[in-house]
Amino acid sequence: MSESMAKTLVGIMIGIAVSEHKIHSIDDAAQVYVPGLKGSEIGTVSIRALLHMASGIRFQQNYTDTDDDTTMHRELLSSKGPGSVAVVKQFNTRLAASNTFFSYASLNTEVLGLVLSHATGMTLSSYLETRIWQPMGAEADARWVTDHTGQELAWCCFNATLRDYARVGLLLAHGGEFNGKQIIPRSWIVDATKPAPPGSLLALGRGQHPGGYGYQIWLMPGSRGAFALEGVYGQRIFVDPQSGLVLVHTAVRTQALDAPGEAELRALWDGLLTQFISSSASAASGGFGE
């Protein structure tokens, strides 16, 4: 189970849809592509603001049984639910103007999923299959949980094998190119993972997360330009574009936001990256890395 690593897949597909002119501009409001959102605050939010988790719409996500995230999840999975458009429209209180502050909310990704399916005329699963999964040579089928109308739960609930998750990581590490094919526009990967200027709402080191945020993807601390797909219970794909090193972590933690578990995983990643860089430098100079 991907948990929120699926958010990055949605962000990638937005980039492909832009390159195919299915989406004209990420500065368009969501309601341009999803007419059912007209008349709601979330419908007025631009795709760019949704990508940046900066919609300005109130949505509580603290991983309790009573927060907005849980409410949305339950309603979308209900066999008697009203459907995705009606569910997201109920979160209709604006706290601030879009693009003025960062607030991580699965609501934003669910709306991006609706934009994608309406703009492309395809389900998220079919679009992912034909634009990414098959072109990158995935070795196994993947699955995506849907609501009773057939709309995927865009912010979560994607399922794939560890090796195919690694292929996704390698695809991103190489600027959207894999097996000699440019699958995702390189310019989109650059824009999606570009660190924000210091002091901006998406900058590195702001808030509780040590990194910054791009287009539905976490940016890791440091100057290497590394980034990560992250799920709430420890699902991770760490990517270092400079070296091409990728780490996939599919272990499921028992608690959300497990600080000791996260510290241990990041120490592993840092150690592997340091050793990889050292070995590569030694080999390049004619020495022998361990």
Answering whether pTM is above 0.85, one says yes
Which DSSP category does 57 fall into?
Answer: B
Q: What is the dihedral of CA 43, 49, 54, 58, to 10 degrees?
A: 0
Q: What is the dihedral of CA 45, 157, 139, 249, to 10 degrees?
A: 100
Distance CA 153, CA 69 (A): 12
pLDDT tens string 181-236: 999 999 999 999 998 777 777 776 665 566 789 999 999 988 899 999 999 999 99
Phi, psi dihedral angles at 248 (to 5 degrees): -115, 130
- Structure tokens of 287? 């020495």
Where do the domains of the chain lie, and which CATH numbers do they carry? 5-283 (3.40.710.10)
Structure confidence at residue 209 (pLDDT): 67
E strands, 116-230, are 143-144, 158-159, 177-178, 181-182, 212-213, 218-219, 227-230
pLDDT tens string 120-178: 999 999 999 999 999 999 999 999 999 999 999 999 999 999 999 999 999 999 999 99
Structure confidence at residue 207 (pLDDT): 57
pLDDT tens string 250-269: 988 988 888 899 999 999 99
| Residue 81 CA from chain centroid, whole number | 25
Structure confidence at residue 289 (pLDDT): 42
Does residue 73 sit in helix, strand or coil?
A: helix
Q: Is the CB of residue 181 less than 8 Å from the CB of residue 170?
A: no
